[in-house]
Structure 1
Amino acid sequence: MATNLKNLSEYDASLVASAEKMKFGIVVSEWNPDVTEELMNGAYSTLEKHGAKAENILVAHVPGSFELTHGARQFIKHTDVDAIICLGCVIKGDTPHFDYVCQGVTQGITELNVKHKIPVIFGVLTTDNQQQALDRAGGKHGNKGDEGAITAIKMVALTQELKASKK
Structure 2
Amino acid sequence: MASALKNLSEYNSDSMPDISGKRFGLVVAEWNKEITDALCKGAYETLLQHGAKPDNIYRNTVPGSFELTLGSQFLAQSNEIDAVIALGVVIKGETKHDDYICHAVAHGLTQVGLKFNKPVIFGLVTTNDEQQAWDRAGGKHGNKGVEAAATAIQMLKWLD
Q: TM-score, normalised by structure 2?
A: 0.97
Shift of 1:18: 2.3
The structure where helix makes up a greater share of residues is 1
User: Which residue in 1 is equivalent to 2:97?
Assistant: 97
Distance, in Å, in 2 between the alignment partners of 1:74 and 1:115 is 12
Secondary structure in structure 2 of the residue aligned to 1:10: coil
Shift of 1:79: 5.0
Distance, in Å, in 2 between the alignment partners of 1:120 and 1:114 is 9
Secondary structure in structure 2 of the residue aligned to 1:121: strand
Which amino acid counterpart does residue 22 of structure 1 have in structure 2?
A: K
User: Which residue in 2 is equivalent to 1:145?
Assistant: 145
Distance, in Å, in 1 between the alignment partners of 2:62 and 2:89 is 12
Distance, in Å, in 2 between the alignment partners of 1:12 and 1:113 is 24
Give the total of aligned pairs. Answer: 160
Q: TM-score, normalised by structure 1?
A: 0.93
Runs (5+) with no aligned partner, structure 2: none
Secondary structure in structure 1 of the residue aligned to 2:77: helix
Identity rate, percent:
52
Q: Structure 1 residues 140 and 26, CA, compared in 2 at 3 Å: closer, same or farther?
A: same
Distance, in Å, in 2 between the alignment partners of 1:10 and 1:152 is 15
Secondary structure in structure 2 of the residue aligned to 1:87: strand
Secondary structure in structure 2 of the residue aligned to 1:75: helix
User: Does residue 74 of the first structure (1) align with residue 86 of the second (2)?
Assistant: no
Runs of 4+ in 1 over 6 A off after TM superposition: none
User: Which residue in 2 is equivalent to 1:165?
Assistant: none
Note the aligned Cα RMSD (angstroms): 1.0
Q: How is 1:4-19 mapped onto 2 (pairs within 5 angstroms)? A: 4-19=4-19
Runs (5+) with no aligned partner, structure 1: 161-167
